[in-house]
Amino acid sequence: MVSSEGLCGSSPPAAAPMTQYGVTKPISMAGPTEADILRSRDLEKFLVEAGLYEINEESSSREEVLGRIQEIVTNWVKQLTHLRGYTDQMVEDANAVIFTFGSYRLGVHGPGSDIDTLCVGPSYVNREEDFFFVLHNILAEREEVTELQPVPDAHVPVMKFKFNGIPIDLLYASISHLVVPHDLDISDMSVLYNVDEPTVRSLNGCRVADQILKLVPNVEHFRTTLRCLKFWAKRRGVYSNVTGFLGGVNWALLVARICQLYPNAVPSMLVSRFFRVYTQWRWPNPVMLCAIEDGLGFSVWDPRKNHRDRTHHMPIITPSYPCMNSSYNVSTSTLRVMMEQFQYGNSICEKIELNRAKWSALFEPYLFFQSYTNYLQVDILAADADDLRSWKGWVESRLRQLTLLIERDTYGKLQCHPYPQEYVDASKPSAHCAFFMGLQRKQGEIIHEGHQFDIRGSVDEFRHSINMYMFWKPGMEIYVSHVRRKQLPAYVHPDDYKCSRNLRLTSHQQFYKLSRNNGVAYQTESAEKCLKRKKDLDGENSEQHRLVKQRSPDRDQSGSPEIISHKLSSNSTGCSTSGLDETNGFAGANASSNSSGISSCSHEDIGNESTAGSSEGSNGGYDNLLSSRSDSYDDLKSSVEDEHADKNRVLQDGLPKELRAKYGGWCCSKVHEWSCRCRVCEESLDKVEFGINGLT
C-alpha cells in the first residue's frame, strides 16, 4: 500500500540516499508534487476497492498452511533417511526447509492467489522418485490436499495442489548438504555447488525475489506499483508467462527497473513512467537491475556467446546468479500485443495526469472477442475433472508452440494473439475447456490476390507434440478449429452480451472443388459474381448454370504448385477469396488427438480487424469499409455438392439451427477421410466429415 512517508512534500526527502540503483544513473531524482500525492492516494483507494488486498484472517490461514507443509516435508525427509539406513542421529537431524517466492515473498499477493514455495532438501533425496512419487503419494492421502497435479516435465518441475483451499506451487531443490540447516541462507552462492540445471532454476525463484527487494529504493512504493500493474496486465490480457506474455517475476523486474530510474517517485508517478519508458524501449535491449556476473560455470544470458540468446525478443534479466532471461517465452506476436497495450496505458496515464480521466479508465478490460475477425479455437476435453486438470496443464504449456509454429510457417506474416483466459462449455457431457487465439495479417504486408496462409502443417506438428503426453488416458482429446467472430460460442461472452450470429456466406468466400480424376483444384467465381449471374439466369431454369467453374486466373500468383499440391493431397475442402483488391487468408484446421482433418481457406478481411479492444489507435475507417462490403452480401447463401454422389459424400451447407449457433461449422456427413470423433454429436463415428469452422 502507499506509505504516507515521502508523500508530504513537493521535493525529495532531505535524507534520501545517494546510492545509485541499477546499471545506469536515474533518469530523474524529482519527488512528488501535491497533485502526484493526491493521485497516489486515489490509486491506493482504487486498488483497495478492487479487492486486491487480503484480510488478516486470510493472511493467518496462509501462514498456518505453510507451517503444515513444513511439517509434512520434514517428516518425509526423516522417513527417507530412515529407509536408506542412515544412523538414528542422522534421522533425528534430517530436515527440509520451505521457502517462498513470487508474489507472496514480494508482498503483492491478493485474495485467492497461490503461494509459490520451494522445498530445499538434502543431497540424498532426489526429485524424480522421492519428490514426484513418494511425497506425491503422501500428499494424495491427506484430506486437506485437493487437485494434486505433478508437472515433472516443466522447465521448472513443479507439483501443484490446494491445501485447505489455498493454491500451492511446490518446487524441490536437492543441495549438496547431508543436513539442511534451519537457517539456510539461500542467497549465498554456496547453495549452487554441485547441483544440476533444474535445481538451479528451482532455487533461482527465491534468490531473485530476495535480490529484487534489495535493489529497489522504496519497497512499499515498489509493492503498490507492482500490485497496480499486475492487475492492469490481467485486465488487458497480457499476464501469462506460459502463453508467451509476462508472468509475475517479469512484471516485478520491469517495475523494479522503473523504481531505480525514478528513486524518489511515488506510485502514481511510477505507473505513468512505466508506460512512458516501455513504449519507447528499444527491444531487444535487455532490462537489467544489476550487472551480469559470472561465477560457477553455469550458463548466463550473453547474446555475444550464446546464439539462442540472440533470438530473444524481450529480454528481462534476473538479478541473481546465474542471470537468465526470464521472458524467453515472448514471441514477435505477443511482443506486438504488449507494445500495443503499453501504448494504450500510456495514453490513459497522460489523460489522468491532465485530470481528463480517472484510474478506473486504465483498468478497462480488453475486448478480445471484438478485436479480431478470425480466431483459432482450441478445445480440450477429458473424461472427468481430474483428467482435464492434468491434460489442460500439458496442452496449455505447449500452446505457445502453436504460436511459434504459425509465425515460422507464415514467415511472420500471420500474427497470433493467444488469449490467456480459459473458457468452459458447461453444456458438454465431458469435462471441457477452451482457449482462443486472435489471427490477423501483419500490418503493412503486401499480399497478392488470392494468397493463402496454410497453417495445416503447423497445427499437425502441434498435434503431434501434444500426443507425446506420457500420462494420456482415454477421453483426453484436443480439437483445433478456425472460427469467425460471428461464430464464436456463446459461453465466451458475458450473460448480458448480445450479438448477431449470422453464419451465412459472405462475398469474401468462394470454394475450391477437388477433381477426383486429375487432382486439380477448380475455383468457383466470387460470391459477388455468382449473385449477379444468378440474377441473369433466373429465367433459364437451368441447374447446370447454378455454379460456374473456372480455373483460378491468379493461381500461379497466389502460391507455388507445390503448395497447392500439398493442400490438395489432404483431400480437404477449402475456400478462397478474390472479391477485393487486397486478399489474404489462412488455412484453418480441425485436429483431434488421434487424427486431423484440415481445410484451407482464404479471407480478404483477415488483418483488417477492428480494434474494439482498445480505445486508442483505431483503424476504424478501413475496417468499416470492409465491414460494409461484407455485410452487403449477408443474404447470399451457397452450398457445395460433391461430384461423387454414388459415394454418398455430402458436404452440408450449415448445421441445424440449434447446433449452428453452438458450433458454427460443417456438420457430420456420410463419408470421411479421417477416423475421429464428431464435434457435433460427440460420438465416435466410422464416417465423419470435418470442415473448417468459418466457411459459413
What residues act catalytically? 103, 114, 116, 169, 230, 239
- Cβ contacts of residue 252 below 8 Å, gap of 6+? 106, 108, 209, 212, 226
Q: Can you name the residues that pair with 105 across neighbouring β-strands?
A: none
Instruction: Report d(CA 378, CA 357) in Å as an integer.
Output: 38
For residues 495 and 609, the answer to whether their CB atoms sit within 8 Å is no
Instruction: Report d(CA 597, CA 570) in Å as an integer.
Output: 8
Length of the chain: 696
Give the helix, strand, coil percentages of the chain, each rounded to 5. Answer: 35, 15, 50
Instruction: Report d(CA 223, CA 172) in Å as an integer.
Output: 27
Q: Which residue is listed with cell 457435433? A: 680
Enter the DSSP assignment of 480: E
DSSP notation for 510-545 = EEEEE-TTT--EEEEPPHHHHHHHHHHTTTT--GGG
Q: Which SS3 state, helix, strand or coil, does residue 575 take?
A: strand
Helices (H), 13-154: 34-49, 56-83, 88-93, 102-106, 136-140
Instruction: Report d(CA 683, CA 685) in Å as an integer.
Output: 6
Neighbours of 35 (CB within 10 A): 12
Cα 491 versus chain centre, distance: 19
DSSP notation for 253-297 = HHHHHHHHHSTT--HHHHHHHHHHHHTS--TTSPB-SS-----SS
Grid coordinates in use for 25? 544513473
Name the E strands within 333-396.
374-382
Instruction: Report d(CA 658, CA 637) in Å as an integer.
Output: 18
φ, ψ at 92 (rounded to 5°): -70, -35
- Cβ contacts of residue 689 below 8 Å, gap of 6+? 597, 649, 650, 651, 666, 668, 669, 670, 671, 672, 673
Neighbours of 31 (CB within 10 A): 21
Q: Which amino acid does the sequence have at 241?
A: N
Instruction: Report d(CA 640, CA 652) in Å as an integer.
Output: 7
* Beta strands across the sheet bearing 414-423: 414-423, 431-441, 374-382, 477-484
CA contacts within 13 A on the Cβ side of 670: 9
